[in-house]
Amino acid sequence: METAAKQTRAGDSTGDRLSALPDELLHHVLSFLPSRRAVQTGVLSKRWTGLWRSVRRIDIRFDVDTPNYVCNSYSKEKWEKAEVFINNLFKFHDAPSLDAFQIYIGSNHNDLLPTIDRWVCQGMEYRPHDVEIVYSSIEGAYMLPHLGSSTALLKKLYLSGMYLDYSFQAQLRSGFPVLEDLTLHDCRTYFDYIQSNTLKKFVLRDCYRSSKMLVIRAPALVSLRIVTVLYDNGVALDGPMNYLVNAYIFPFDDGNSNLSRVSLLGSLFNVTNLELVGLSAQVMLDEGLDKYPVFMNLKTLSIYRCLYSKTLGEDGCLYSSCDPNDKLKALGRLLHKAPNLERLTLQSCWPLQESKQKVTASDLSLRSLDQKDFNCPSLKFIEIKYKDDGTDDENQMFQLVCGLLRNLENPAVTFSRTKGTWSP
């Protein structure tokens, strides 16, 4: 304490108020920097020398390839310097454990993978709570080494550019005893199950096809996000999801059957907030949805680029149709299964295309699958979003809104134009 007081007084006398802070706060400041930058702060003053060694976060960022990437070549000098720095970083870093370990490596050179393996394993030896491992390469994915018992305290895991096989499936089931947050992005997932009793948040995004179906068994799951996942039979939820509150679903692949999409949609019956992107009217109208419970907890529903119908053209190919009647049938079916819905958002659900059937607003009404009119007594707010770049059919949008309002008890309806690009 006396030493810290002297350091504080020394900091005040030089006007360096930042250096006057106690070590705990300076460690917190350094934790926001990549490790290379944190080490470089040692040149600021004697007060900063060696502080980086006990920061409870290691953040390694390195792109092996030269800016002028040609013929799979890279600067050996650049690589050797990085290797020396990272080896010394682990050699002299003396924090007993880490709050976070992050490593971002860009490499198209398989001969460097053993060294990267060693760095990953060295970082995991600190038993971190939060881990991000990102590998970027045009040559393929990075095969994650077995992490052993170093995952005992791991609560959050983000993996990108990985090759994950059945050993990862097995470790996830029993080797991550406190894992709560898992993100798999741009990975080759060669396994069949995501099984965890502790997982609360799961993101599966842009992962490659590896098996017929991916099954998720996570009874404690609160938040689920699935974006463009390539499996022959899609993704399925297995077992009760009593705690699931938020779900975001983007279509996995146009080649998927309706059965897989209906199964996933129906399994989300416990959610409170649901966002659907790109689901066709056929999914919502499929009779298979009847075997799933009503969405009693659903309060907010957001639909983006959905409600289209697929029609068979003369050339034998499927084309998207945007018949307003089909849209209202599909929407009616979904709303009929959500009797307690309070807020509905519809965005870009009316592309400017010609419909073979001429429909006027007076012909449209919101109906259930048995063609009976119904009402949503709790639905008090509807938000309509559309683009002002000419890609949305304002006439069709008007028809749909009239069909909606004919059955609902005076909900507030707002319209808003959207600009720019959209990303899931």
Per-residue pLDDT reduced to its tens digit, 139-180:
788 999 988 889 999 999 999 999 998 899 999 998 999 999
User: What does the pLDDT read at residue 209?
Assistant: 67
In a domain, 127, yes or no: no
Q: Among 127, 79, 125, which Cα is nearest to 105's?
A: 79
User: What does the pLDDT read at residue 9?
Assistant: 44
Domain count, the chain: 1
Determine contact, residues 306/331, Cβ cutoff 8 Å. Answer: no
User: What does the pLDDT read at residue 74?
Assistant: 57
Query: What is the band of 320 on the pLDDT scale with cuts at 50, 70, 90?
Result: low
User: What does the pLDDT read at residue 65?
Assistant: 67
42 pLDDT higher than 70: yes
User: What does the pLDDT read at residue 66?
Assistant: 54
| Mean pLDDT for the stretch of residues 297-301 | 96
C-alpha 108/C-alpha 57 separation (Å) is 27
363 pLDDT higher than 70: no
User: What does the pLDDT read at residue 178?
Assistant: 96
Query: What is the band of 70 on the pLDDT scale with cuts at 50, 70, 90?
Result: very low
| Mean pLDDT for the stretch of residues 95-114 | 90
Query: What is the band of 350 on the pLDDT scale with cuts at 50, 70, 90?
Result: confident
Query: What is the band of 423 on the pLDDT scale with cuts at 50, 70, 90?
Result: low
| Mean pLDDT for the stretch of residues 230-235 | 76
Q: Which residues contact 418 (CB under 8 A, 6 or more apart)?
A: 347, 348, 385, 386, 387, 388
In a domain, 13, yes or no: no
C-alpha 3/C-alpha 222 separation (Å) is 47
In a domain, 334, yes or no: yes
Mean pLDDT of the residues in the chain:
81
In a domain, 113, yes or no: no
In a domain, 73, yes or no: no
C-alpha 175/C-alpha 143 separation (Å) is 18
In a domain, 423, yes or no: yes
Q: What is the pLDDT of residues 245-291, one digit of tens each?
A: 999 998 755 555 677 888 889 999 999 999 999 888 888 888 888 89
* Packing angle of the helix pair 394-405, 324-336 (nearest 10 deg): 40
* Overall size of the chain counted in residues: 424
Q: What is the pLDDT of residues 202-226, one digit of tens each?
A: 999 988 765 678 899 999 999 999 9
318 pLDDT higher than 50: no
- H or E stretch covering 4: helix 2-14
In a domain, 406, yes or no: yes
Q: Among 95, 85, 109, which Cα is nearest to 34's?
A: 85
- H or E stretch covering 211: none
E-only strand ranges, 43-168: 57-63, 100-106, 130-136, 142-143, 156-160, 162-164
367 pLDDT higher than 80: no
C-alpha 337/C-alpha 48 separation (Å) is 61
Domain of 283? 272-424
Question: For 339-353, 374-388, 398-412, which range has the lowest pLDDT when averaged over its residues?
Answer: 398-412
In a domain, 58, yes or no: no
C-alpha 160/C-alpha 208 separation (Å) is 12
